[in-house]
Amino acid sequence: MAMRCRVLLLLLLIVLGAVAGASSHPANEFCAAAGGGGDGCGGGGGDGRRILIKGGTVVNAHRVEEADVYVEDGVIVAVRPSIPVGDDNVKVIDATGKYVMPGGIDPHTHLEMEFMGTVTIDDFFSGHAAALAGGTTMHIDFVIPVNGNLTAGLESYKQKAGKSAMDYGFHMAITKWNDDVSREMESMVREHGINSFKFFMAYKGSLMVTDDLLLQGLQKCKSLGALAMVHAENGDAVAEGQQRMIDLGITGPEGHALSRPPVLEGEATARAIRLAKFVNTPLYVVHVMSIDAMDEIAKAKREGQRVIGEPVVSGLVLDDSWLWDPDFTIASKYVMSPPIREAGHNKALQAALSSGILQLVGTDHCTFNSTQKAFGSDDFRKIPNGVNGIEERMHIIWDSMVETGQISVSDYVRVTSTECAKIFNIYPRKGAILEGSDADIIILNPQKSFVMGAHTHHSRSNTNVYEGRKGKGMVEVTISRGRVVWEDGILNVVPGSGRYVRTPPYSYLFDGIEKSDAAYRASLRAPVQRGKAAA
């Protein structure tokens, strides 16, 4: 059987071209299988339809309990103590001493994205393989329009997602504005199940939108019950900062961070928040990387504004010291936007996450290999922006936040899964271990240690920004829609097995918006009735 798995692996890698430009798939960790699995492929036991997880500690965002979990046909059927096995066709997993939790949901990824003259190295198969090995069972990727056309962009991403191996959803980027885009936004929400739109305030000359476009976009999002998202950096000032660095002869990766300091992230965050307040619509700030941006979010929340702040793993645990490494290959792999900040910002962001100022954790998984990063060897402006994280997120957050006592196990579930499901209106189908929820489940061993690196990860990139990182708390089993896909260090995945998840409009963030609009109108004390002035 082991030989058959190796043959299947070889054929799969040839078909997918997974080895192109990469050297990081461990040969003993893939075993593609179309069904429920078999002996030696990480899915043995039972008929592949029924699973009983016994003896574990079940963790939801709202409670922790000792219970068994019974799964049938991809759905959680029962969560209670001492569920009997029933018959021989049930796969039984012993979770004694371990945590049974909802699979992670990554709200921020870029798979097979065309960007800066190249394409991210991970597609919807390798990215999903990496995610599942790391305990993430769903993600939401950003659709980039084709020449501003949303429909063309969506069709392109549907084709890319044909290789998917787990559940996924879509956000939609808005890169220009006209009546056609406005109408297409309506179609995206009502016909295609996309309830979030992203506006780039950076990348001048390509993706960046101006304030008037952002304002119109915010108004349109509100009318549709869709969530507006912003990449918050002052694009005009960044362009000026980049030229300033070049004029000073600073062309290496350190110039990237120096050209777009935290003040520019803070300014754009404040501007987006104030425009959203003017429109009275919720706002989601992606990849919050600095104290400056975090402070603006905290201020807005104190004033009652509905603002979601999303830190990413790299910003929570790394600092910018690597950008000054004399080895370009090492330094360039840390280039992303907004930049990884100097030490101190990461700890402040962790504190904001633990206190609820920031609500959930993404990755901004946007991977390029060392050859692609070398496009900017003489000019940091040409280094493709992006780092890995889709496989590492769940482990790093456990080790850095739970093991250190900053958050509880239930908070861990909240920031890695449940809050995302609620924000994008798919809870409790996702983000919960409850009867009727999708059977997206992980079993985490809090005593087991891990070591991260490019030679063991499942991304196609030959670099890893967490190279050599060690920690405690390992996902030993991942179940995706009722199928064991990661067990005993072996992946049991197949391209094309993923499923698109529609995200309905009007999440809880919109509750009461109409009432606050009415209160605003009532407060105006206008128009004032005045007589005509005498001649």
- Can you give the length of the chain in residues? 535
Mean pLDDT of 107-116: 97
Residue with tokens 């769940």: 394
pTM: 0.92
- pLDDT category, 444, cuts 50, 70, 90? very high
CA angle 505, 301, 267 (to 5 degrees): 95
Percentage of the chain lying above the pLDDT 90 cut: 89
Domain 103-473+493-513 bears CATH identifier 2.40.50.140: no
- Which of 446, 453, 454, 439 lies closest to 475 in space, CA to CA? 446
Stretch among 4-13, 91-100, 209-218, 272-281 having the lowest mean pLDDT:
4-13
Query: 71-88: per-residue pLDDT in tens?
Result: 999 999 999 999 998 777
- pLDDT confidence bin for 535, thresholds 50/70/90: low
Q: In the block, which residue shows the tokens 């967490």? A: 466
Q: Tokens 């239930």 appear where? A: 410
What percent of the chain lies above the pLDDT cut of 70? 91
In the numeric block, which tokens belong to residue 468? 């050599």
Burial class of 531 by CB neighbour count within 10 A (0 to 12, 13 to 18, 19+)? exposed
**More confident: 400 or 38:** 400
Domain boundaries, the chain: 103-473+493-513
Each residue's pLDDT tens digit, 333-392: 999 999 999 999 999 999 999 999 999 999 999 999 999 999 999 999 999 999 999 999
How many other CB atoms are found less than 10 A from the CB of residue 304?
A: 8
Who wins on pLDDT, 11 or 156? 156
Question: Which long-range CB contacts under 8 A does 501-504 form with residues at least 24 apart?
Answer: 501/138, 501/167, 501/168, 501/169, 501/193, 501/426, 501/430, 502/169, 502/192, 502/193, 502/194, 503/140, 503/169, 503/193, 503/194, 503/195, 503/196, 503/424, 503/425, 503/426, 504/193, 504/195, 504/425, 504/426
Strand pairing class (136-143; 91-94): unpaired
d(CA 491, CA 489): 7
Residue 87 confidence (pLDDT): 76
Q: Which amino acid is at 316?
A: L
Helix (H) or strand (E) holding 419: helix 419-423
- For residue 82, the 8-state DSSP code is S
- The yes-or-no verdict on residue 1 having pLDDT over 50 is no
